[in-house]
Structure 1
């Protein structure tokens, strides 16, 4: 295997800007910012959304369309029931 062909895989801190969640994981992402976390200095990546703030994971989603896709299609183009 060739040396220096892959980016460095190292511990990185991700911070969710909207929820304030901070978690340490490993990544190849490049960043110049650092942060003190859990007794060490790690590269920092700010993200706008994570599992702590995503509507699917938090259960705070709202239903925008109350009419289903099939009903909208039938309303637009007529019902195909009974036709063959």
Structure 2
């Protein structure tokens, strides 16, 4: 798991109309999700963080590889 060993602030609130919890990840613009329970919200946000870190990792590898004349692609 990419997020193992890290702690992230996950502010959340409950929407009074839908009764869903809505949360986001501080420091990750656009990293937000929702869930019927706080546990579901936490798992959904964990998946968002993992996707963002995978993308960041790919971008970092490509930046380094460009210096070496190669590129990486996302296997998914």
The TM-score, its normalising length taken from structure 1, stands at: 0.26
**Whose strand proportion is higher, 1 or 2?**
1
**Whose helix proportion is higher, 1 or 2?**
2
The TM-score, its normalising length taken from structure 2, stands at: 0.28
Q: Which of these two proteins has the greater Rg computed from alpha carbons? A: 1
